[in-house]
Amino acid sequence: MAFDIGSVLAQAISPFNLLLALLGVVLGTVIGALPGLSATMAIAVLVPFTFAMDPASGLIMLGAIYTGAIYGGAYAAILVNTPGTPSAIATTFDGFPMAKRGDGDLAMTLATLASVIGGVIGAIALMTLSPLLANIALAFQSSEYFWLAILGLTLIASLSTGNVLKGLIGGAFGLILSMIGVAVVGGDVRMTFGISGLLGGIDIVSALIGLYCIPVLIDMVARPDRHLEPAPLGRGFRFFEALGHCATNAFNLFRSSVIGTVVGILPGAGGSIASLVSYSEARRASRHPERFGTGEPGGLLATESANNATVGGGFIPTLVLGIPGTPPDAVILGALLVQGIRTGPELFTQQSGIVYIFMLGLLIATVMMLPVGLLIGRYAYRFIVNTPKALLVPLIAFMTVVGSFAIHSNPHDVLVMVSMGALGWLLSLAGFGPSPIVLGLVLGQIAEQGFMRAYMIGGARGNFGGQLLFDRPISWAIFALIIITLGLPLWRQLRQRKAKGKEATNDI
């Protein structure tokens, strides 16, 4: 190799770079924890400052902020039931129930551990297998994205146990919401009702904040009991208890991190799909699928390890192919270009020094998340538990407005957030949860565009079926997963019924 490992190591762990990584992780965690303030935004704001640093230091800081922000998204998800970033949608499923019943401290520690483990696996994949794995970005085409989105949508069925019909209605409503605006394929203007602000569609983050946060706020005001059960004093971080959960979920963690890395490599998929798919897989593989959604540590570990693994994964196509894996990667790619660094395979040979310093920096930043996250997480948990509702509610309400405004510095998004919130609250009264709606909204566009492109290309080649499924082995695999995910519960039910039937006959 054309560089000296010793000097790379020395540069990456220079006190200045370590300080930058620490600063980046702390900053990123705080930004990610506030709903609406996203990793993309944090990086975009800080890019100009990094121009004054040498490229490697600048990159380390950006990478640290990015990984910190993805992790920080878990805070609001666990403590307030509002995903701080789309990556943390699935974290609410089990994180909030845990916090609600008084296990918030354990949930925070679990999220931290899972994020570090996922982040480290993603970063190691980035360091060792980049040129090889980058080809995955090219193997996934429109039809694969379509099936991947459908796989994500199957989660609706398992999320809404007890009332599948309401889940499906919610999902369909989300799909309709995803159609609002100018269609990418075809250019039709759909369901904007003449409002020019709707041309761009419903912003996912403002919808997230509205649908999840507003009902929680109204609930907090309407009911006299505490928002979260307080934890008994003197329990510490429950670090070893959390480690125990990690040990029993070792394979779950590994699988979720691999899913996160691979999905991170796919441009246009991102952390939300990664955590949803790994959640669904963890639930399917679990011996207690019925516990998922009620505060099961395995679910939390799956989502948080997967979304942090997308950070390393996303850098793989960014650095190797010049194709950003996630939106924050696009900003970082732009920053690289302005600094005169050309991405591509040459980056690994000619300018390898910088790249390896950056990767090592990312790894160090990820490991730093452990102490930083444990400390901030504990403080955040205590703050949410101990702050009286009269203070907490206006504070969170204020943050929802600031957060949704900050997405595009546009008051229109605040309006969307408030209307989605009102709608979400009304629907929750009728027994509809926010998650199926959000899944429909997030995955609808990916599914629609993937299908339409496969349809058009198939049409041009006179082979629609082949283009959509039959000629595409990766699609087969995803399709098989869909069948298993949908079929397994039915099969289990059938078997239970049979067993019961036998018992019944034995009784006679």
Partner 1 sequence: MLKKLTLLAAAAAFAMTAGAAQAFPDKPVNYIIPFNAGGESDISARLQQPYFKKITGEDLIIQYQAGAGGAQAWSVLNDQPGDGYTIMGTNLPHIILQPLLQNPGYKTEDLTNIYMFHFTPDALLVRADSEFKTVQDVIDASKENPGALTVGGVATNTANHIAHQRFADLTGAEMTYIPYTGTGATIPGLLGGEVELLWGYTTVAAGQGDKVRMLAVAQDERHPLFPDVPTFKELGIDMVGGAYRGIAVPKSTPEEVRQQLSDIIGKINADPEFIKEMEDAGFAMLNVPYNEMDAFMAERQKVYEDTARKLGSLQ
Task: Point out which residues bind partner 1 (CB under 8 A).
Answer: 40, 43-44, 47-48, 137-142, 181-187, 189, 194, 196-197, 199-201, 203, 267-268, 317, 321-324, 327, 330-335, 337-338, 340, 342-344, 346, 408-410, 412-413, 449, 453, 456-457, 459-462
Closest to partner 1 by CB, 232 or 340:
340
End-to-end CA distance of the chain: give it in Å, rounded. Answer: 77
Closest to partner 1 by CB, 184 or 483:
184
Supply the minimum distance, in Å, between the C-beta of residue 111 and partner 1: 28
Closest to partner 1 by CB, 35 or 181:
181
Supply the minimum distance, in Å, between the C-beta of residue 135 and partner 1: 9
Closest to partner 1 by CB, 273 or 323:
323
- Single out the residue of 77, 508, 2 nearest to residue 271, CA to CA: 77
Q: Residue 392 has which token pair?
A: 């907490």
Closest to partner 1 by CB, 467 or 485:
467
Residue 190 has φ and ψ, to the nearest 5°, of -120, 130
Residues contacting 237, CB < 8 A, separation 6+: 105, 109, 374, 378
Residues contacting 114, CB < 8 A, separation 6+: 246, 253, 256, 300, 301, 302, 303, 304, 305, 308
- Alpha carbons 319 and 325: distance in angstroms, whole number: 9
Closest to partner 1 by CB, 60 or 335:
335
Closest to partner 1 by CB, 259 or 454:
454
Supply the minimum distance, in Å, between the C-beta of residue 206 and partner 1: 11
How does DSSP classify residue 209? I
Residues contacting 303, CB < 8 A, separation 6+: 88, 90, 91, 93, 94, 114, 256, 275, 276, 278, 279
Residue with tokens 């591509």: 344
Supply the minimum distance, in Å, between the C-beta of residue 372 and partner 1: 25
Measured between alpha carbons, how far is residue 326 from residues 79, 138, 181, 292, 314 in Å? Answer: 26, 15, 22, 28, 6
Helices 297-321, 239-248: crossing angle, 10 deg rounding: 70
Supply the minimum distance, in Å, between the C-beta of residue 128 and partner 1: 22
Supply the minimum distance, in Å, between the C-beta of residue 147 and partner 1: 15
Supply the minimum distance, in Å, between the C-beta of residue 99 and partner 1: 33
- Single out the residue of 45, 404, 416 nearest to residue 200, CA to CA: 416
Q: Residue 394 has which token pair?
A: 């206006």
Closest to partner 1 by CB, 304 or 329:
329
Supply the minimum distance, in Å, between the C-beta of residue 462 and partner 1: 8
